[in-house]
């Protein structure tokens, strides 16, 4: 009348487990297939690509132009880690930085910042060299040392010191520093 229920202990249960070598083979196959697809199709992300210095245009590729002097120094991108800057996208300014060329459809006009270090700075470019600090600044300002005599006076970098006389003019946005002087004039 009553059915008896019997429980099995863990020692009595047998679960088939695939061999370690079979799992290892499946993992290797998955890695090979994924790598092959990535290299063959490329990346859809503008930050990661296997196509250096070129953009994808269907099956053809086009070279990315070098940035101009103005583009080089207006950019806040790091030319060593993200040298490809998108200047315009969908008719408006963009300014995005990328470690690899922009994929077609993600940027309308881009350039390569790697050429920037080789460009000559024109002699008439504004700098802090020889700019008078003013008596009040010389008397009350935080003075920079001899190795960094160029000091920012206005902006978020106020009191900042630099050894490069273009640091606060050409190489920095005006919101960061809009006025500088040469403390050797004090």
Q: Which residues contact 17 (CB under 8 A, 6 or more apart)?
A: none
Segment 13-30, tens digit of pLDDT: 444 444 445 454 554 554
In angstroms, the CA 109 to CA 94 distance is: 9
CA 97-109-86 angle, to 5 degrees, is 10
3-state secondary structure of 6: coil
Long-range pairs for 161-170 at CB < 8 Å and ≥24 separation? Answer: 162/128, 165/127, 165/128, 165/129, 166/121, 166/125, 166/127, 166/128, 167/128, 168/128, 169/125, 169/126, 169/127, 169/128, 170/73, 170/121, 170/125, 170/126, 170/127
* Mean predicted confidence (pLDDT) in 105-133: 90
Helix (H) or strand (E) holding 26: helix 20-41
In angstroms, the CA 136 to CA 139 distance is: 5
For residue 92, what pLDDT is reported? 65
In angstroms, the CA 33 to CA 16 distance is: 27
Segment 60-84, tens digit of pLDDT: 335 689 999 888 888 888 889 999 9
pTM here is 0.52
Closest CA to 82 of 63, 100, 55: 100
3-state secondary structure of 137: helix
């Amino acid at each position: 009348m009553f059915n008896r229920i019997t429980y099995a202990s863990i020692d009595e249960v047998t679960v088939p487990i695939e061999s370690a070598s079979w799992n290892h083979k499946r993992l290797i196959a998955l890695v090979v297939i994924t790598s092959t697809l990535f290299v063959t199709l490329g990346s859809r992300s503008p930050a990661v690509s296997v196509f250096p210095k070129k953009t994808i245009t269907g099956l053809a590729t086009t070279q990315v132009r070098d940035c101009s002097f103005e583009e080089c120094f207006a950019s806040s991108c790091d030319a060593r880690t993200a040298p490809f800057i998108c200047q315009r996208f969908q008719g408006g300014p963009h300014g995005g930085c990328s470690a690899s060329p922009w994929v077609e459809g993600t940027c309308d006009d881009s350039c390569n910042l790697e050429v920037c270090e080789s460009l000559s700075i024109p002699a008439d470019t504004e700098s802090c060299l020889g700019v008078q600090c003013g008596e009040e600044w010389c008397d009350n300002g935080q003075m920079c040392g001899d190795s960094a005599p160029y000091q920012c006076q206005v902006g978020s970098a106020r009191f900042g010191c630099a050894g490069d006389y273009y640091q606060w003019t050409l190489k920095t946005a005006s919101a960061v520093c809009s006025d500088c002087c040469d403390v050797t004039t004090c």
